[in-house]
Amino acid sequence: MNLLDSLKERILIGDGATGTLLYSYGIDRCFEELNLTHPDGIFHIHEEYLKAGAEVIQTNTYGANYIKLNRYGLEERVKEINSEAVKIARRAAKKDAFVIGTIGGIHGARFHSELSEEIKRSFREQLYCLLFENVDGLLLETYYDLDELITVLKIARQVTNIPIITNVSMHEPGVLENGILLSEAIKRLEDLGADVVGVNCRLGPYHVLKALETVPIPEKAFLSAYPNSSLPEFRNGKLLYKSEPEYFKKFAAHFRDEGVRLMGGCCGTTPDHIRSMKEGIQGLKPIKKKKVKEQARIEIAETKKLDELTLFEKVKTKRSIIVELDTPKDLDTRKFFEGAKALKEAGIDGLTVADNSLASPRICNKTMASLVKRDIGLSSLVHVTCRDRNLIGLQSHLMGLHTLGIRDILAITGDPTKIGDFPGATSVFDVTSFDLIKLIKQCNEGVSFSGKSLKQKTNFHVATAFNPNVHNIKKSTERLEKKIQFGADYVLTQPIFSREKIIETREATKHIKAPIYIGIMPLVSSKNAEFLHNEVPGIKLTDETRKRIAIAKSPEQELRTGLDIAKELIDTAIEYFNGIYLITPFIRYELSVELAKYIQQRTKELDAKKQSQFVLS
């Protein structure tokens, strides 16, 4: 009798967490390598779970793919590690239990914008290794990203007819990280050919049960549940799980009442937990009907629209000027607020406030933007980097920005820490700039990063960065197109220092509907020009520009030349783009004030010229 025939007749008990046992033995290395170096140890763990009552055991292959093994220099041993894992499990199971080949999620609980071809190849390689050893089924487990699981399921279903078990993982009971309900996710997996559908990891028995109460019994597939033993506790440098095995005995019966046919354990579960599960279903037959609890959909309120237009709304229809003004590196804020006030009086549309630019700590841009809005009445485009905050911090930060009434965000990767004041600091990069854009837009739907309702929709407009100062602007433009596909509303360029590059940027982006702010940065000296050209990533000056400022005979002349160059670039930029983005050097806000007034004057002259041409025609 095969696995699916057995599930038609009765409830099957799976095993628990191999990794938890290995960790408890003091092993802190690649668990999958142990298939080669310590096969008897892995055999012993399988044996213990079988003695406890497991009828379905997993191969020790959760992370046995090219990408994860690469961390340990074992990427060339994928076939060997997976093959040995199946052989060890077969030797332990004999003919008394089913052996299923485990393929874990590669993304895990981290966010990624897409499934790369490299990841797909890695899945295929491991899949073929397990199929070659004739496993009784496949277990695709610990997938927080439903799209990743669907991709892997499709790959597997195309090449094999053996049973496939698909287990999603949730941050919140009953909902996946993209906000889709568990019941909807399970239905999609069933429709795509999964034979067993369910949940594993992250949540303990109580919350897994609450989630399954909202899931109907599948029409063609069977339900599975592999909860953690509890939430983990960090003590004396180790992760510990506290639930008692007896607790699992009660929940095993409850799982059966929700239609579960295959149940085992994930993180923290031991042979004792599996033994208790076995006892909990003793004498119970699987059910075929259940009463499903309707999952309450939390109402998500629309955010009240602000009276003022956002920068995105302004630049779509008229000339718009924004000015970058760095927050201070110390606690003396006088010049910053002087600058903000002067720029407001000069008629700019908003400040753009960097997030610790060049990886150097400054006063929090959220704080300064809030004070500028409150005390001066000027809005800000607040930069948010992927570098400094993990997912928890990013979610909290965005909720804070929304609460403060800040609606414009520039989502960027962030400069590497090694170039800043603290080169030993750690970069986080839980997400890429693509992912961050996508997650901000998810907040606009009222859904948090974990899939939980925010009970209110944010209404952020997301800007993204574009660097045209490259040899191959086509590739840079393709990257920009991808950011827009992920939800970016408008664009800020790196500072451009030639008329030709502005025209080239126009030609490269004329098919893009998202409004673009062209970056203009006045040079203050020849030294400043040489530093930007030679040392700052993403900025290149023309030889002509460097020569013009180099031949100036005094600091005053250098500064005047720098402003003249900036004005010439502005003349070209306003022919093709609505948005001008002035980057203020060294908080010398008077330079940006002069350029802002120049833009307004040139705009009036151009409008008057257009009007006269219209009248004459």
Known binding site: residues?
A: 201, 266-267
The amino acid sitting at 357 is S
Task: Please tell me the distance from the alpha carbon of residue 595 to that of residue 616, in angstroms, as a whole number.
Answer: 31
Task: Please tell me the distance from the alpha carbon of residue 258 to that of residue 261, in angstroms, as a whole number.
Answer: 9
Task: Please tell me the distance from the alpha carbon of residue 119 to that of residue 149, in angstroms, as a whole number.
Answer: 12
Residue 380 has which token pair?
Answer: 């800000």
| Residue among 506, 464, 459, 509 nearest 487 (CA) | 464
Task: Give CA angle at 365 (409, 589), nearest 5°.
Answer: 100
Handedness of CA 550, 554, 556, 561 (dihedral sign): negative
Residue 4 has which token pair?
Answer: 């699916």
Instruction: Name the phi and psi angles at 351, rounded to 5.
Output: -90, 155
Residue 580 has which token pair?
Answer: 């001008």
Task: Please tell me the distance from the alpha carbon of residue 378 to that of residue 364, in angstroms, as a whole number.
Answer: 17
How far from 305 is each of 32, 427, 438, CA to CA, in Å?
53, 35, 22
Binding residues for Zn(2+): 201, 266-267
| Residue among 51, 38, 121 nearest 81 (CA) | 38
Q: What is the DSSP letter of 332?
A: -
Task: Please tell me the distance from the alpha carbon of residue 251 to that of residue 238, in angstroms, as a whole number.
Answer: 27
Task: Please tell me the distance from the alpha carbon of residue 180 to that of residue 447, in angstroms, as a whole number.
Answer: 10
